Structure 1
Amino acid sequence: MTADGQRLHLVPSQFTVGHQPHATFPEDDEWIALVRAPEGLTVVREASPFGDAQRWVGFYGDAGHGLDAPGMLAAIVGPLAEAGIPVFVASTYHADLVLVPEHAQRGAADALRAAGHRVEGA
């Protein structure tokens, strides 16, 4: 697997990204990803249909690449940065979940396609 021309799909869920400054673990188990840092806990959750928090959509690689494949994430976030689209990334052992604000979904998909990636579901 090379960094160029990755096959990505739009995750069907929408997400929220929250910060809990004094928590070390969330009070519930409804989270998708957690990142614990000295300044607190970052929690990625599936968005509630009733919430008013900013919604994010996710692009995820169809083929896992493992930890030894260089440039995989850079090949995705680079074109998004050039297009002025903010990202939040949650990495797994096999691939990266790249979140962009919901309102930027179309622009993100266009930027990724222009960079040579195949984007499905967007």
Structure 2
Amino acid sequence: MSAAQHLHIVPSEFMVEHLPNATFPEDDEWIALVRAPEGLTVVREASPFAEAERWVGFYGDAGHGLDLPGMLAAVVGPLAAAGVPVFVASTFHADLVLVPDHRLKDAAQALRDAGHRVSDGRPDRGATADR
């Protein structure tokens, strides 16, 4: 199986928060949680009123097994080479790769240049969709 993937831009925008003294968030409005010695990291959909940095996500349409090497590296490698920061939340089947909203065009182009297909399913955002 090739590491080239068909990636969809997730319709939502996200926020990544660090809660240093928490072990669980006070609400259930989260997408992903990571508990570590330095606190809790929470990924949630961005509130329209929040002033936090907004992130957008790429998610593959074909799940892959946990034993298939190189799938995440095939996505984050080109983004690193393009100087695009990432935050990753992995699922059992695929990886949600978040990039800062203002770097979306750079990220999509870097992924295309690396051989990935990128589709933008967000309403009124066709500028970054496959050509």
TM over 0.5: yes
- Which position in structure 2 is the counterpart of 1:22? 21
CA distance in 1, matches of 2:65, 2:48: 33
CA distance in 2, matches of 1:48, 1:72: 31
TM-score, length of structure 1 as denominator length: 0.97
- Which position in structure 2 is the counterpart of 1:53? 52
Corresponding residue SS for 1:31:
coil
CA distance in 1, matches of 2:2, 2:35: 30
Residue 120 of structure 1 and its aligned partner are, at CA, apart by: 0.3
- For residues 2-54 of structure 1, the C-alpha deviation after alignment (integer angstroms, 9 at most, x for no partner) is 21x21000000000000000100000000000000000000000000111100
| Structure 2: 5+ residue stretches without partners | 121-127
**Letter in structure 2 aligned against 1:55:** R
Corresponding residue SS for 1:51:
coil
Corresponding residue SS for 2:31:
strand
Report if the CA contact (8 A) 1:2-1:69 is conserved.
no
- Which position in structure 1 is the counterpart of 2:76? 77
CA distance in 2, matches of 1:116, 1:76: 10
CA distance in 2, matches of 1:32, 1:103: 21
| Structure 1: 5+ residue stretches without partners | none
- Cα RMSD of the aligned pairs, angstroms, is 0.6
TM-score, length of structure 2 as denominator length: 0.91
CA distance in 1, matches of 2:7, 2:74: 12
Report if the CA contact (8 A) 1:80-1:112 is conserved.
yes
Alignment of 1:1-122 (within 5 A): 1-3=1-3, 5-121=4-120, 122=128
